[in-house]
Amino acid sequence: MTSRYREVYRASLEDRDAFWLKAAEAIDWFEKPLKAFDPTLGAYGRWFPDGMTNACHNALDRHVEDGRGDQAALIYDSPVTGAKRTYSYAELLNEVSSFAAILQDFGVRKGDRVVIYMPMVPEALVGMFACARLGAIHSVVFGGFAANELAKRIDDARPKVILTASCGVEPSRKVAYKPLLDEAIRLSSHAPEAVILLQRPQLEAELVSGRDHDWATLREAARGRSAQCEPMRATDPLYILYTSGTTGAPKGVVRDLGGYMVALAWSMEAIYGVKRGETFFCASDIGWVVGHSYIVYAPLLAGCTTILYEGKPVGTPDAGALCRVASEYGAVALFTAPTAIRAVKKEDPQGEKLAGHDLSRMRALFLAGERADPATVDWAEKLLGVPVIDHCWQTETGWAIVANPLGLGLLPVKHGSPTVPMPGYDVTILDDAGHEVAPGTLGNIVIRLPLPPGCLPTLWNDEERFRSAYLTGFPGYYQTSDAGFIDEDGYVFFMARTDDIINVAGHRLSTGGMEEAIASHPDVAECAVVGVADTIKGQSPLGFVVLKAGVDRTPAEIEREIVTLVRERVGPVASFKQALTVPRLPKTRSGKILRGTIQKIADGEAWTMPATIEDPGALDDIGDALADRR
C-alpha cells in the first residue's frame, strides 16, 4: 500500500485549523469547538479554546452509552502477584464514578490536584479517571522514585488528596510505598488533607489516624453512588506529569485535555493502526508519559481494550512474558522501550521463549523512549516477523513527534531513524546561531511554533521556566534539547540530548539531580555524573567525586555511601551503582566541568583535548580511575 503520509502531513501544515477541527470530530464534545487554535492565548497559543468536554466521558461513558458496555476495557495481568482480572467498560465506569463520589466527599473539586503514587494496579487507573471525571488534575508519580523526589512533586502540585497503595511488587522485593509517602509528606511544606490507601495483601501498611483512609472500606461504603462528569474547557489541565529538567527541580508538564484527546484519538488509527474493539498492549508504566497516553487514555478513547501489565519483560517468569501477554489477550500491537527488547534478547537470543505463544494477531511492535539501536530492531524484526516501528517523543509532547505511521501506510524503514515528523510538527534543524542547516548536518532539533494539539501549553506554576527552557533558545521554535539531523528524504535522526538528561532503561533522568544528591555528602568537595553506554539500559549513570581535603576515611567507604545516598534521594530507578574518587575534575578555564569529554573517555570513544581545558592532567586522572575500576 502506498503511504498517505505525505499528503496528510502537508495538509496538517497547510491548513492546520481545518486538519485538527476534522480530527476533533472523533471526540464527544459538550460544546463543539468552532475555533481550532487561538494564537493570542498562552505562551504560543491554545487549541480548541471554545470547546467543552470531559476526558472520562470520552474514555468510558460514551462507549457504555453507545452500547459497548460489555466490551473489555481493561485487562489487568500481574505475574508478580498472580492476579488477572478483566473489567468491562460498564464495570470500569462503575468503579470510576463511585470513586469520583468518594473523592468529592473529601472535597476534591474541579482544578484541585490529586497525587497518585501507586504501582501498576487497576485502582491507579480508577483514580486517574475519577479525577478526570471531576475535573481534578492528577499527578502520577512513578513508584521507583524516592521520598525526596516525591516530596518535590507534592510541594509543587500541592494536592488536596494523595492516592497510594501499601506496596509495589518488584520481582526481587516488595517496595513499601507507605513509609516513602510518609517521609515525603514529612519533607514537603504542603500537607494533603487526606491519603487514600489501597492495602495489598503482599505487604500491608499502617494508617495514620485522621489523615489516612482505607480504599476498600471507602469503596464498600460508596457502592451504588456515582458522580457525574464535570464539563471542562478543552484548555483546562487534565494532568501534571513531572519530568527531569536540567536541575534537581522537576518540570511539571501540564497537559490540557481537549487537544490531548484529539491528538491521541488521531494517533491510535493513523500511527498505531488500531481500531475500536481491538486490544492494545503498552508495556510501560503509568508513571511515565507513555503509560499516561497509551496505557490509560488513548486506547480507551479509541474504544479499544488496554492491558495493564504488572511485571517485567524478563524474570516474570521469563523472557517470553511480553509475548505471553500479547498472545493470551490477542493484542494487535505491542508498545515498549528498546531496553525491554534488549533485555529479552540477552536472556533468550534465539527467541525460544516465543514458542507456544500465538502472535498471529500482532501487526507491529512499537518502540519509544530512547534511541532504538539497529541491532535490536533487526533482531526483533526477524524474530517477530512484523514491522518494528521506532517513534520518538517526549513527556512534553504527549504523543509522537516523529514516527512511521502504520495506519496511513508505512514508509520504508531506515534503521536508526524514527522516520518522519507527524502532523502538526514542523521539525527543523538549526545550528547554535539559529540558522537552518543543510540535510544531513547535525544540529538542534526544533519544532516551529505552534506545537500541535496534545503538547504542553506551559509548566505548572512556572510559565517563566516554560519560556526559558523551551521557547527563548530559538525564538519562534520549541527547543527539544535533542541533537540530530534530517536526511535528504526528510527522515529525522535523534542522536543525543543537548542538556544533562540521560536515558536509563527508557527512564529520563537528570545527572544534575544526581549531582545535587552526591554534593550533599559531607565529604564531597565536587562531583560530576555522566551517562555511560550500557548494553541493556542504553545508558547508566557513573559518578566522579573529589573528596574534601583532610577526609581520612577510605574512598571505597565513601563511594558506597554515595551510591546509597543517590538511591535514597533520587530512587532505585536511577540505577546509580558506582562512584569513583578522583583527585580533581577536568574543567575549562572558566570552571565548567568537561562532562562530554569524561563520558567519551568512559565509553572508550575517540576524543580530542578541549582547547579551553585548564589542566589536561585531570583527564588522565579520569582514565586512571576508570582503569582501576575495570
What residues line the site for ligand AMP (CB under 6 A)?
A: 243, 289, 368-372, 390-392, 394-395, 418, 480, 482, 494, 497, 503, 508
Residue with cell 498492549: 281
Task: Reply yes or no: is the peptide bond before residue 450 cis, omega within 30 of 0.
Answer: yes
Minimum CB separation of residue 531 from ligand COA in Å reads 14
Q: Which of the residues 89 through 128 are near ligand COA (CB under 6 A)? A: 119
Q: Which does 168 bind (CB under 5 to 8 A by kind): ligand AMP, ligand COA, none?
A: ligand COA
Q: Which of the residues 8 through 67 are near ligand COA (CB under 6 A)? A: none
Binding flag, residue 411, ligand COA (CB under 6 A): no
- Position 627: which residue type? A
C-alpha distance from residue 141 to each of 32, 202, 510, 521, 542 (Å): 33, 21, 16, 26, 25
Closer to ligand COA by Cβ: residue 279 or 284: 284
Minimum CB separation of residue 372 from ligand AMP in Å reads 6
H or E element, residue 513: helix 511-519
**Strands 46-47 and 331-336, sheet pairing:** unpaired
Closer to ligand COA by Cβ: residue 77 or 621: 77
Closer to ligand AMP by Cβ: residue 188 or 480: 480
- Spatial contact of 322 and 310, defined as CB atoms under 8 Å apart: no
Q: Which does 146 bind (CB under 5 to 8 A by kind): ligand AMP, ligand COA, none?
A: none
Binding flag, residue 314, ligand COA (CB under 6 A): yes
Residue of 168, 248, 259, 457 interacting with ligand COA (CB under 6 A): 168
Binding flag, residue 505, ligand COA (CB under 6 A): yes
C-alpha distance from residue 595 to each of 89, 497, 524, 621 (Å): 51, 13, 18, 14
Closer to ligand COA by Cβ: residue 261 or 392: 392
What per-residue string of b and e applies to 43-71 under the rule 16 or more CB within 10 Å gives b? bbebbbbbbbbbbbbbbbbbbbeeebbeb
Minimum CB separation of residue 448 from ligand AMP in Å reads 17
Distance CA 501, CA 489 (A): 29
Q: SS3 of 338, please?
A: helix
Distance CA 143, CA 180 (A): 10
Range 371-378, long-range pairs (CB < 8 A, 24+ positions): 371/338, 371/416, 371/494, 371/495, 371/503, 371/538, 372/338, 372/418, 373/338, 373/342, 373/416, 374/415, 374/416, 376/338, 376/341, 376/342, 376/345, 377/338, 377/415, 378/415
Minimum CB separation of residue 559 from ligand COA in Å reads 17
Binding flag, residue 572, ligand COA (CB under 6 A): yes
Q: Which does 56 bind (CB under 5 to 8 A by kind): ligand COA, ligand AMP, none?
A: none
- Spatial contact of 355 and 383, defined as CB atoms under 8 Å apart: no
Quickly count helices (H) and strands (E) in the chain.
20, 31
Distance CA 159, CA 138 (A): 9
- Position 191: which residue type? A
Binding flag, residue 424, ligand COA (CB under 6 A): no
Minimum CB separation of residue 371 from ligand AMP in Å reads 4
Binding flag, residue 338, ligand COA (CB under 6 A): no
Binding flag, residue 290, ligand COA (CB under 6 A): yes
Minimum CB separation of residue 368 from ligand COA in Å reads 6
Site string for ligand COA, 447-486 (x = CB under 6 A): ----------------------------------------
Q: Which does 573 bind (CB under 5 to 8 A by kind): ligand COA, ligand AMP, none?
A: ligand COA
Q: Which does 505 bind (CB under 5 to 8 A by kind): ligand AMP, ligand COA, none?
A: ligand COA
Give the residue ranges of DSSP H helices in 24-88: 55-56, 62-65
Q: Which does 538 bind (CB under 5 to 8 A by kind): ligand AMP, ligand COA, none?
A: none
Q: With contacts defined by CB under 6 A, how many residues of the chain interact with ligand COA?
A: 27
Q: Which of the residues 521 through 540 are near ligand COA (CB under 6 A)? A: 536
Q: Which does 236 bind (CB under 5 to 8 A by kind): ligand AMP, ligand COA, none?
A: none
- Spatial contact of 169 and 119, defined as CB atoms under 8 Å apart: yes
Binding flag, residue 288, ligand COA (CB under 6 A): yes
State the distance between the two ends of the chain, measured CA to CA, in whole angstroms.
Answer: 52
Closer to ligand COA by Cβ: residue 212 or 310: 310
Q: SS3 of 105, please?
A: helix
Q: What is the DSSP string of 223-263?
A: TT---PPPPEETTSEEEEEEE--SSSSPEEEEEEHHHHHHH
Q: Which does 337 bind (CB under 5 to 8 A by kind): ligand AMP, ligand COA, none?
A: ligand COA
Residue of 575, 581, 597, 599 interacting with ligand COA (CB under 6 A): 575
Binding flag, residue 144, ligand COA (CB under 6 A): yes
Binding flag, residue 336, ligand COA (CB under 6 A): yes
Residues 6+ apart with CB under 8 A from 59: 129, 132, 297, 300, 301
- Spatial contact of 319 and 288, defined as CB atoms under 8 Å apart: no
Q: Which does 539 bind (CB under 5 to 8 A by kind): ligand AMP, ligand COA, none?
A: none
Binding flag, residue 339, ligand COA (CB under 6 A): yes
Binding flag, residue 368, ligand COA (CB under 6 A): yes
Minimum CB separation of residue 544 from ligand COA in Å reads 21
Q: Which does 175 bind (CB under 5 to 8 A by kind): ligand COA, ligand AMP, none?
A: ligand COA
Bridge partners (DSSP) of residue 115 are 139, 162
Minimum CB separation of residue 400 from ligand COA in Å reads 12
Distance CA 94, CA 87 (A): 10
Binding flag, residue 337, ligand COA (CB under 6 A): yes
Distance CA 417, CA 285 (A): 24
Interface residues with ligand COA (CB under 6 A)? 119, 143-144, 168, 170, 172, 175, 284-285, 288, 290, 312-314, 336-337, 339-340, 343, 368-369, 505-506, 536, 572-573, 575
